Amino acid sequence: MKFVLASQNRHKLEEMQAILSAHGVEVVLQADLGLHVDVEETGETFAANAMLKARAVMEASGLPAIADDSGVCVDALNGAPGVYSARYGGPELDDAGRYRLLLANLRGATSRTAHFTSCIACVFPSGDTIEAEGICPGTIAFAPQGTGGFGYDPVFFLPELRKTYAQLTPDEKAAVSHRGKALEVFDKKLREYLKGKN
C-alpha cells in the first residue's frame, strides 16, 4: 500500500518509512510524484494542521495521504513555539537559529520542562480518515548536544536517557519519540481499518 507524505521533510519520511515499512506500507514524498502542494497551516492545533495537509495532498494525488504536524511546547513559554515550531523567529532562521532563539528565550527561566507532540492524519480517497497522536516529555538543554536528527533535536533532552534526541541513533529515537509513539498508534489503527476492509 502506497501513501503520499504531505511534507517536504525527508527526515520525517525516513522516520515514518522505518516504522511503517514493517507492515508493507510504502511512504513517498509528494515531490517524488511531481507534486508540490504547499498548504498554509492555518489550524490552531497540531491535529487540525495535520488533517489540512493530508486532505490537500490526497485531493491533489488521488492517493491515500499521510501528514504529520509536530512541534515542541515549552512550559515556561506558555506552550511556545508549539504549532509555530517550524516558523519560530521568522523565515530567515534555520534549524540552528530557531533552537538558539529558544535557548535565548529560556535564559533565566526557572523551569525547562517541555514536550514534543506529533499528530498524524491520514485521509483516504474514500474520505475515510485515521488520526493518531504521540507525546514525548523532556526538558530543554542548556546548550546543544549531538549531531543526529533535525530541528530542535540538539536541545531536546530526555532526562531518563541523559541524552538529547540528537545523541540518539534513529532506532533509539523512534523507540521513545513523539513521532515514534504517534506512528505506533497510527499503525494499530491502520491495521484495524484495513482488516475492516477485507
149 binds ligand IMP (CB under 6 A): yes
Reported in sequence order, the residue ranges of the chain that DSSP labels E, i.e. its strands, are 2-5, 26-29, 65-74, 113-123, 129-140, 156-158, 163-164
**Contact in structure between 166 and 143 (CB atoms under 8 Å):** no
Q: Which residue has the cell 519560530?
A: 88
Whether the bond between 81 and the residue before it is cis, its omega within 30 degrees of 0, is yes
Binding mask 35-74 for ligand IMP (x = CB under 6 A): ------x--------------------------xxxx---
Annotated active-site residue in 32, 38, 68, 69: 69
Q: Does 186 bind ligand IMP (CB under 6 A)?
A: no
Q: Which is nearer to ligand IMP, 60 or 86 (CB)?
A: 86
Q: Closest separation between CB of residue 91 and ligand IMP, Å?
A: 12
Can you tell me which of 114, 153, 167, 186 binds ligand IMP, judged by CB under 6 A?
A: 153
Instruction: Collect all residues with Cβ–Cβ distance below 8 Å to 38 and sequence separation of at least 6.
Output: none
Least distance CB 52 / ligand IMP (angstroms): 11
The answer to whether 153 is a known catalytic residue is no
Chain-centre distance for alpha carbon 54? 13
* C-alpha dist (Å) from residue 90 to 31, 136, 155, 191: 24, 25, 19, 39
103, three cell numbers: 535557548
Q: Are 53 and 69 in contact (CB under 8 A)?
A: yes
Given 3, 157, 165, 186, the residue binding ligand IMP (CB under 6 A): 165
x/- letters, 93..132, toward ligand IMP (CB under 6 A): ----------------------------------------
Q: How far is residue 49 from each of residues 31, 68, 72, 111, measured CA to CA in Å?
A: 19, 8, 15, 28
Pick one of 134, 138, 151, 180: the residue that binds ligand IMP (CB under 6 A).
Answer: 151
Catalytic residues: 69
By the criterion CB under 6 A, which residues form the site for ligand IMP? 9, 41, 68-71, 85-86, 149-153, 165, 177, 179
